[in-house]
Amino acid sequence: MPMRAALCLCLSLIALAAPAEPARCTLDTHTLDRGERRTFLLCGQPVSADSRLEGLDAAGIDVLYRQNLQHCYPGDRRPGLFLELHARADAGDAVIRVLDAATGDRQCEVALEVPERWLLPAAVLTAAGEPDTYYLRVDAHEAGAVELSGACAAGLHFPPGQGPDITMLADPAPRCTRHAITATVHIEPGRQRPAKILLTARDATGNALDAISYVDAPEPAFTDAMAESDAKFIDVNGVRTRYFDKGTGEALILVHGGQPSAADFNAWEWQQNFDGLAEHFRVLALDRIGQGYTDNPADIDDYGRYYPLVVEHLLGFIDALGLERVHLVGHSQGGWPVTRLALDHPERVASLVIVDSTLIAPSGNVAQAVRFYIYQQNELHPPGGETAQSIRRGLAFFSYTDNNITDQRVQRILALSRTDKYRAASDWFNAHRMNPAHPDFRRLKENIWADMLAGRLRVPTLIIWGREDPEGSFPAGVAMYEALKEAGSPVVFRPFDQSGHVPYMEYPEKFNRLVAEFCRGN
């Protein structure tokens, strides 16, 4: 045999004998601190529902939640796992090995870093009197032989992350004693997860060591708004309809998005806006037909004409309350009924606010929007139904900042998802594929656009759009504004930077100010 051929054969045999390199898998985040609870996406072609994970328990990391994903993310076709992990006080770096459950063969592996930081007890906040200002105390009495007297000199750090942004104030200066740290801090309202505090402590021999504590975000004041006991009910064309009502003056109606096949949108979506707007208007927020705690129609097959039905229900709600003229605010799918009413009954609508409503905007990045909503509908939750973790993940999809995603909101959605009414509506919508891609709505959208391009929208209109809307719809919002302006409609456009699909939730004070100024001026 020629030498070159023999060499090739030898290399081939070596390659066959060598163990196969495991396939690649990825984590969306590669660090987990001691004491931290955090969600992760573990994605890769070898990952399956039967995959077994190895390496976490030995590293002191608990798996608090596991959900199999057919596809990791909208647009990412790889299968994966959605995990919630918790690092114990003695946790260390881990190599997560994904094993075939039947054979034990390694399918892929990925590293997870756990920094070596001494875990201190959680910090405590006390209101300091000024808005968003607090006294913070870290106490090390329960942390063993650790002392904190030098921590102030080394500095306290509040790294960006899942929790709120925290700034330490210089006056009064922070004070560090052997077993405690006190400081005055400003906490930016918004994210509701615990924030990290990084500092330098010393052990019993005087050696410096890195340490970490956590502080819970203050409970936002708006969680007291729209209490369940404040809900009212009214008959609207035979449909028992839930709504909230507060304030005096001109009526302003808040119309949420979504549709009955998803539990995450209802009147409570406006909770962080409700009291602020009620300082200027009589504010009403209703559950649209079949959503929240508003009933389905008596004959569920009436959903066959769902999109005209939601317009009729909103008009019926206005009539049932005896309101002659109202301001309308519609978000996402809620933009459809408010705009249709403004076109058909301009004498009843004083002003119109449209928020991130792809439903009525020109068709822009349709493929991205369709992928997003198909994923939300079919793959977000496990087969057994919604969980607190999958609901929170869904809310985070809509948000750019994660501002104001509260445990209260998550638990309310979870409770609603367990109702027979919701299940009946969801099953019907999924079976009949009733969604904005349905041919019936396409015709309705053609009609509404013919009306708008003809200049028939004469009601003063404010369009608000999140620049980072995950549907990729911001250009469509701009195109809608330009088309209405060209048609001679009285329209104003206000983009929200660093905002996703829910700018009213991410920046409630800014949103309320814009809406109040616009509606009071009309």
CA angle 59, 65, 66 (to 5 degrees): 95
Of the two residues 375 and 424, the one the predictor is more confident about is 424
pLDDT of residue 7: 35
- Residue corresponding to tokens 């990045």: 365
pLDDT greater than 50 at residue 102: yes
Mean pLDDT across the stretch 295-299?
94
Which CATH fold would you assign to the domain 118-218? Immunoglobulin-like (2.60.40)
Check for a shared fold between 22-112 and 118-218: yes
CA distances from residue 448 to 272, 359, 451 in whole angstroms, order as listed:
31, 11, 5
Q: What is the tens place of the pLDDT at every residue in 253-276?
A: 999 999 999 899 999 999 999 999
- DSSP E strand stretches across 356-480: 461-466
Please give the C-alpha separations between residue 183 and each of 132, 141, 214, in angstroms, as whole numbers.
14, 17, 14
Give the model confidence (pLDDT) of 339-371 as tens digits.
Answer: 999 999 999 999 999 999 988 988 766 667 777
**Mean pLDDT, the chain, as a whole number?**
92
pLDDT tens by residue, 446-467: 999 999 999 999 999 999 999 9
CA distance 177 to 281: 51
Question: For 22-112, which CATH superfamily applies?
Answer: Immunoglobulins (2.60.40.10)
Residue 522 predicted with pLDDT over 50? yes
Identify the band that residue 137 occupies on the pLDDT scale cut at 50, 70 and 90: very high
- Going by pLDDT thresholds of 50, 70 and 90, the confidence category of residue 436 is confident
Round to whole Å and give the CA distance between 23 and 6: 30
CA atoms within 13 A on the CB side of 62: 11
Residue with tokens 């309809």: 241
Residue with the two structure tokens 């968003």: 132
For residue 237, give the nearest of 175, 141, 301, 318 by alpha carbon. Answer: 318
**pLDDT-based confidence at 433, cuts 50/70/90?**
confident
Taking the CB of residue 120, how many other CB atoms lie within 10 A of it?
A: 25
Share of the chain above pLDDT 90, in %: 82
Output the pLDDT for position 496.
Answer: 98
User: Which residues, other chains included, contact 162 with Cβ-Cβ below 8 Å and sequence gap of 6+?
Assistant: 38, 191, 193, 194, 195, 402
Q: Before 172, cis peptide (omega within 30)?
A: yes
pLDDT at 184 over 80: yes
Give first-to-last CA distance, the chain, whole Å. 93
Residue 142's pLDDT is: 67
As a whole number of angstroms, the distance between CA 399 and CA 264 comes to 13
Greater pLDDT, 1 or 454: 454
Nearest Cα neighbor of 118 from 216, 56, 200 is 200
**Inter-residue contact 208 to 117 (CB < 8 Å):** no
In 3-state terms, what secondary structure has residue 224?
helix
- Residues whose CB is less than 8 angstroms from the CB of residue 156 and which lie 6 or more positions away in sequence, other chains included: 168, 174, 181, 183, 197, 198, 199
What are the extents of the domains in the chain?
Answer: 22-112, 118-218, 229-368+404-520
Closest residue by Cα to residue 192 from 400, 34, 408, 35: 408
CA dist., res. 392 & res. 432, Å (int): 27
d(CA 513, CA 519): 10
Note the pTM of the prediction, 2 decimals. Answer: 0.91
Tell me if 243 sits within 8 A of 284, measured CB to CB.
yes
Each residue of 197-208: pLDDT tens digit?
999 999 888 899
Distance in angstroms (rounded) separating the CA atoms of residues 183 and 173: 7
> What is the CATH code for 229-368+404-520?
3.40.50.1820
Residue 157 near residue 128, CB atoms below 8 Å: no
Range 122-132 average pLDDT: 94
Question: Rg of the chain over CA atoms, in angstroms?
Answer: 27
Please give the helix or strand (H or E) that residue 182 lies within, else none.
strand 180-187
Residue 39 has pLDDT above 60, yes or no: yes
pLDDT of residue 409: 96
Confidence at residue 1, expressed as pLDDT on a 0 to 100 scale: 43
